[in-house]
Amino acid sequence: MILNALSRPFALLDRVARLQLAIAAFAVMAILLAISLDVALRTAFSAPLTGTMEVVSFYCMIPVVFLPIMILEVRGEHIDTDLFYRFFPVAAKRLSVIVSGLLSVGIYGLLTYITFEQAISSTGRGEVAMGVNLMPVWPVRWILPVAFASSTAAAFALAIRNTKGVK
């Protein structure tokens, strides 16, 4: 019954995770294009593309690194070490799954809270990066709480599903 009730939320979580992965893939393409254009302009005209380093560092790398975390959580593809787990009795396996699920939810939740507070502070200050030009970076600060909040939801759903599936 509970597993059937989780199928709809898991489908939604999977769609959100795939959207976040697509945004991260778009950011990778933006990095490739920006750096290629910078190199081409620098080589051909001795005129590099201004702000490439800042755009890549602040606007592209953050989504590339953090948005794919949710798809790993939804698909259960984080690194597992089962050296001893496979020898546990069923009760110890269930306890291990519950504890690891709670730890994942707790850590993602804490990261959501901390990065949300930082995003609010950054937005309030109108945070900018100093480079050739001042570049506002406060909008990018909101990617982290979104990524961690969605990963929290995925970890919670996965923890429930995994607890019920331990045999």
Tokens read off for 11: 């489908």
Confirm if 57 and 140 have CB atoms less than 8 A apart.
no
- Calculate the alpha carbon distances from 64 to 2, 9, 67 in Å: 34, 25, 6
Cα distances (Å, whole numbers) of residue 22 to 14, 15, 26, 31, 96: 12, 10, 6, 14, 33
Amino acid identity, position 10? F
Q: Quick check: 141 pLDDT over 60?
A: yes
Asked if the model's pLDDT at residue 166 lies above 70, the reply is no
Eight-class DSSP state of 135: E
Query: What's the whole-number mean pLDDT along residues 63-79?
Result: 93
Give the three-class secondary structure for 136.
Answer: strand
Query: What is the per-residue pLDDT for 167?
Result: 53
State the Cα–Cα distance between residues 147 and 166, nearest whole angstrom: 28
DSSP state of 129: E
Instruction: State the pLDDT confidence band at 1, using cuts at 50, 70 and 90.
Output: very low
Per-residue pLDDT of 15-36, as tens digits, reads 999 999 999 999 999 999 999 9
**pLDDT 10s digits, 78-133:** 888 888 888 999 999 889 989 999 999 999 999 999 999 999 999 999 999 887 78
Q: How does residue 7 score in pLDDT terms, banded at 50, 70 and 90?
A: confident
CA distances in angstroms from 43 to 24, 37, 40, 56, 145, listed in the order given:
28, 10, 5, 19, 39
Amino acid 102: pLDDT:
94
Cβ atoms 73, 79 nearer than 8 A: no
Cβ(111)–Cβ(148) under 8 Å? yes
* pLDDT per position as a tens digit, 42-58: 999 999 998 899 999 99
Measured between alpha carbons, how far is 151 from 117 in angstroms, rounded to an integer? 17
Check: CB of residue 126 under 8 Å from CB of residue 86.
Answer: no
| pLDDT reported for residue 77 | 87
pTM: 0.89
* Distance between first and last Cα of the chain: 17
